Amino acid sequence: MLWLKITRFEYACVSMPTPNTQETKQSLRKSLQETRRSTKLGSFDVEQLTKRAIFELSKTTGDVAIYMSLPEEPPTLDLIAEVRKLGRNVWLPRVNNTDLLWVKNPEDFNIGAYGIKEPQGEAKLAKELTQLGAIILPGLAVDVNATRLGKGKGFYDRVLEQLNTNVKRIVLLFDAEFILEIPKEPHDQPIHTIATPYRSIHFTKPD
């Protein structure tokens, strides 16, 4: 297993915002999404990604929040099932206006506004998930300064703002999506760990 510890202090000069930050991020999103549409994970890769995510989760305790993956994203269906087998509660999201609401161990689903499978039943805001130990996040890329690039709606940045800082933030990616620089904006929330089928990358704060 490749294990990298990256200190944000060492790369602090990389992610200074510029006037064309939004334009640059949109261009980067378009390029990454085009690459994703042509990327197919084999069953072995899916299995490896699930095992790596489980390994990272094994370092935490408590409930786990996990995104519901679209076909082009690193898949989470097997991961959700494996976490449930371990006896840990799993919270899955659904869109409610500009927020994500979370449902514990759901059994019933509908297709939501963005074509994502969404859980039905009693739901809570992220700030109400007091037993949460980790969250598995979607992303198009993460850079060396622990900045995550999402799809631009800001749902997960708003979720992270609500969570205790002790909740472990793990992003699932394809290997090539760990990149040098993502233009950073004030609302962007840093992450703790990247998990891909073939490596884990950990970010640490300077001592």
Q: How confident is the model at residue 7 (pLDDT cuts 50, 70, 90)?
A: very low
Mean per-residue pLDDT over the chain, rounded:
89
Local confidence band at 205 (pLDDT 50, 70, 90 cut-offs): low
Contact predicate 121/158, CB 8 Å: no
Alpha helix (H) residue ranges in 102-199: 155-162
Confidence of residue 41 (pLDDT cuts 50, 70, 90): confident
- Give percent of the chain with pLDDT exceeding 90: 78
Q: What pLDDT does residue 133 have? A: 98
Q: Give 82-140 pLDDT, tens digit per residue.
A: 999 999 999 999 999 999 999 999 999 999 978 899 999 999 999 999 999 999 999 99
Looking at residues 188-204, what average pLDDT do you find? 94
Give the residue among 203, 167, 190 at the shortest CA–CA distance from 62.
167
pLDDT at 2 over 70: no
The pLDDT, as a whole number, for residue 40 is 81
Q: Which residues contact 39 (CB under 8 A, 6 or more apart)?
A: 72, 174
pLDDT for 19 beyond 70: no
What predicted TM-score, i.e. pTM, was given to this entire model?
Answer: 0.88
Provide φ and ψ at 47, rounded to 5°.
-65, -45
